[in-house]
Structures are given as C-alpha cells and as structure tokens.
Amino acid sequence: MSKNFDVIVIGGGPGGYIAAIRAAQLGFNVACIDEWKNDKGGPAPGGTCTNVGCIPSKALLQSSEHYEHAGKHFADHGIEVKGLGLDLAKMLGRKDTVVKQNNDGILYLFKKNKVSFFHGRGSFVKAVPPGEGGTSGSTGDYEIKVAGIAEETLIGKHIIVATGSNARALPGVPFDEESILSNDGALRIGAVPKKLGLIGSGVIGLEMGSVWRRLGAEVTVLEGLPTFLGAVDEQIAKEAKKAFDKQGLKIELGVKVGEVKAGKKGVSVAYTNAKGEAQTLDVDKLIVSIGRVPNTIGLGAEAIGLKLDERGAIVVDDDCKTSLPNVWAVGDVVRGPMLAHKAEEEGVAVAERIAGQHGHVNFNTVPWVIYTSPEIAWVGQTEQQLKASGRAYKAGTFPFLANGRARALGDTTGMVKFLADAATDEILGVHIVGPMASELIAEAVVAMEFRASSEDIARICHAHPSLSEATKEAALAVDKRALNF
C-alpha cells in the first residue's frame, strides 16, 4: 500500500526540514525522509549542519575558546586560575548533547506541523503517469521508495530533493576517520593530538584548526592556493592572517600535496612548498578539508532522468526547478554557496512557489561567517571584485581598537569595512574581522536588503558602548567623517 502526499522532501538537513515545515504551514500534506542515524540507530534529522557541521563545530569552538581564555586571557582581567585542566571527553559529550537537543527539536517541529517523518533512504522509483494511481490528474506524480527499518512506498505530487553534500577526499586517500579525518572525524578526536595537519585553509580548516590549536595541538595547515582566503576582501583576509599567525596557527600557502601515507605512528604528507622545495609533514592526525561534493548517492536520479551537472549537482534554475516537472532541489546539492541559511531560504522559497506564491532568495545578500577568533563575516562584494568590475566605489574602515566596548571586552583585533557606490552611496559590501562579526553582519544584511546607503547607517543611533558603533563609524568613514578615529 502506498501513501500519498502533496509534497515529499528527501533529506532532513536545513534545506529539507525547513522546506517540509513551510510546506506544512501552507496547508500541504507533507512527508520528509532522512537517513541520518544517531549512535543508537535512531533518527537524527538536521543533516550535516546539525550532526557534523554548523552546530557541533560551534559547540567545540565555544568550549575551546573558554579554555583558551581561562588559560591565557583571564589573568588580564585579574582572575587567577589555578590547576586548569581539560576534560576532553566531557567537552565532546557536551557537544553531543547540543546536537541531540537540535535533533529532538526538529522531530518535535515535525510533530507540531504534522509532517510525516520517515527514517531511511529515499530514492526515486519512477514517474507515475497521470491517471495511474497518483494524487494528481494532469502532471503525473513520483513514486519514492523509503529503505529504512521497514520499506515504504510513497507517492508525491511535488518532490523536493535536499540531500546535501559530502566531504571531498584527496584523490586516492579515502577517509578512515581514525587518522585521515573528514569533518565528521575532526569533531570527535578522542585525545588532543600532539601534531595535527589540515589540508585546505578554507572555512573548515580554519575553524577546526582553531579548535584543536586552542586545546593544545601543534597545528599546520597546508593550502594549495597562493593567497589566503581568496574569496574574502583582501584587506580583511590580511588582518585575519596576521591574527592567526600570532596565535601560532601555522598556515603554508601555495603548496602542492603529494603522497599521503597513514601508518600506526600517524600520517606523513609529502608536499612541495611555494618555493618548489620537497617537504614532509608528519602528524598524528590529518584533517582533509578541501571542499564538499553534492550528494546524489542512491537517490535514483537516473530512474526518472533527473539532470545532474559534471560535479554531480542537481541542475536547477534560479527558482530551484530541476529538469523535471514538480521536482525541485535546494541546498548543498545544487549550485551556490554551501551554507545552511542559503539552504533554508531556498527551502522556504520552494514551498511557497509550490503554493503559487512568489518565494525569492537574494543571493547578493547571503552573509558568510567564519567562526574563528577573530570572527570573519561579510556580505556583498569585495574591494577586489569591485575593482575587477570597474565599478566606482568609496571605502570606509573603522578599527575595533578605537571602539570602547571592544576595549572593555579585551578584544580589539580587526575592523569593519564598508564599500559603497561612488555616485549613489548604496552599500555594495560590508566586511568585518573582529569580535562578534557573526552578529554584527546582520545589520549590514538588513541594510543591503533595503538598498540602504552608507549615509543611512551613519545617521542611525547605535547603542553606546557597543561593537555595533564600529559599524556606524565605518559607514561615517566612507564620507571621511568618522568621529572616534
């Protein structure tokens, strides 16, 4: 016996579970299928983000930052800490509890919104022609098999694919999660390694490198590109690199990684450095963080002729429509930045489009945050992008060194930078490196959504003393009239 639904969502990560909830809010009969298992074999919805991504990494970043502060910075505040110790098992356990709270929260939300949850792998079986037992008379539906504890057959009028992404491995070097780690293994190393290597100084490399450095590992990051954080505004990336160097996070740029050998004693990485010299990095553990690949494994895309691109991503248009009628795809499995909030926005927009509404995602105002210390956050265009496009712009920066709240916090690294159109003053990009950049960037996103000018921000009253005053001052600096610097 098959079960019929208006909308079936395959994948319960941020793209999928949010799409399911929004579709249910709009009055549809919705199913969500997710295969992630917790350590007891039970359901663990929330995808990469909740289980081995955003949430656990932020939990460990927070814990490790407390540890570093207690050891290195409390003394500046006149707080003496004697006998500081690290209970790594407890720290990892706390992280697992935070993850479970999020898994349980999603199961609760499914119940609250009457979304039928199926624990297992969903795959396309076939398109059901009109009039052959489907739910709709005209367009035809899709038959989806769920391979879980019990096998189920579901029929859906609309299918939303949100199957996410997987870590990319170095060619010929599979993850064993013991010594060669993906993001999964990187979040559950049982003892602080004496020496830790990372391949790739992107977002994961910097966040996970920071966690384990703060906990006591000697960390070396090998990066293929000659520039550090190439997608980030150059001035901001330079400032961040200075801070990481000072912390002792060793980042080697412009390397070419060769043979990687894992043995009982650890991992040996042969590489050529930027000068072309042959080098070897010997470490206890190696995290490979060189990007992620869209996940369509076992989806049965071929069974219905769903079009994938050469990277394996599902081909979609700006509205997340795939090559097939009533099949949609959102999140990491399609083009665009691999970010949880981008996946969520696409999920909401698709549910609304299915309901005949005009869901919309503005890709120009998707913020990026790297949760290191200092945090790095940005929205819109970088100075190098504006230069390359030939657009005339004005820039204004304000350092946290001149911000009273940052001084009180004892964290004055970094700056806020505004880029605005030279003629209209419309904000084109905002870039922050420094304390709480992750929270400060929200003001810039709102401003850009409303197509505000830097003068708009400069004339808004900001609370004193607050880090957000640095945002106002950077906006004032666009017109060369910062007040406190």
3-class secondary-structure state, position 160: strand
User: Is 410 marked within a binding site?
Assistant: no
> Shortest distance, CB of residue 105 to ligand NAI, whole angstroms?
20
**Residues 329, 325: Cα–Cα separation, whole Å:** 12
Binding of residue 14 to ligand FAD (CB under 6 A) = yes
Q: Which of residues 318-347 bind ligand NAI (CB under 6 A)?
A: 337-339
**Residues 374, 241: Cα–Cα separation, whole Å:** 10
> Shortest distance, CB of residue 150 to ligand FAD, whole angstroms?
15
Q: Which of 16, 205, 414, 429 binds ligand NAI (CB under 6 A)?
A: 205
Q: Which of residues 271-290 bind ligand NAI (CB under 6 A)?
A: 289-290
> Shortest distance, CB of residue 373 to ligand NAI, whole angstroms?
13
User: Is 340 marked within a binding site?
Assistant: yes
User: Is 50 marked within a binding site?
Assistant: no
**Residues 439, 430: Cα–Cα separation, whole Å:** 13
**Residues 64, 414: Cα–Cα separation, whole Å:** 21
**Is the C-alpha dihedral spanning 104, 289, 348, 300 positive or negative?**
negative
Residue placing its CB nearer to ligand FAD in the complex, 15 or 429? 15
Binding partner of residue 460 among ligand NAI, ligand FAD, none, CB under 5 to 8 Å per kind?
none
Q: What is the chain's length?
A: 485
Residue placing its CB nearer to ligand NAI in the complex, 369 or 416? 369
User: Is 356 marked within a binding site?
Assistant: no
**Vertex 324 angle, CA 318 and 330, to 5°:** 45
| Count, residues near ligand NAI per rule CB under 6 A | 24
Q: What is the dihedral of CA 235, 238, 240, 242, to 10 degrees?
A: -140
User: Is 259 marked within a binding site?
Assistant: no
Binding of residue 343 to ligand FAD (CB under 6 A) = yes
Q: Which of 295, 372, 381, 403 binds ligand FAD (CB under 6 A)?
A: 295
Cα–Cα separations (whole angstroms), residue 229 to 204, 214, 238, 251, 335:
12, 21, 9, 11, 20
Rounded to 5 degrees, φ, ψ at 32 are: -125, 130
Contact predicate 220/250, CB 8 Å: yes
User: Is 215 marked within a binding site?
Assistant: no
Interacting residue ranges for ligand FAD, rule: CB under 6 A: 10-16, 33-36, 47-49, 53-54, 57, 121-123, 162-165, 183, 204, 295, 298-299, 331-333, 338-341, 343
Interacting residue ranges for ligand NAI, rule: CB under 6 A: 170, 199-205, 207, 222-225, 257, 289-292, 337-339, 369-371
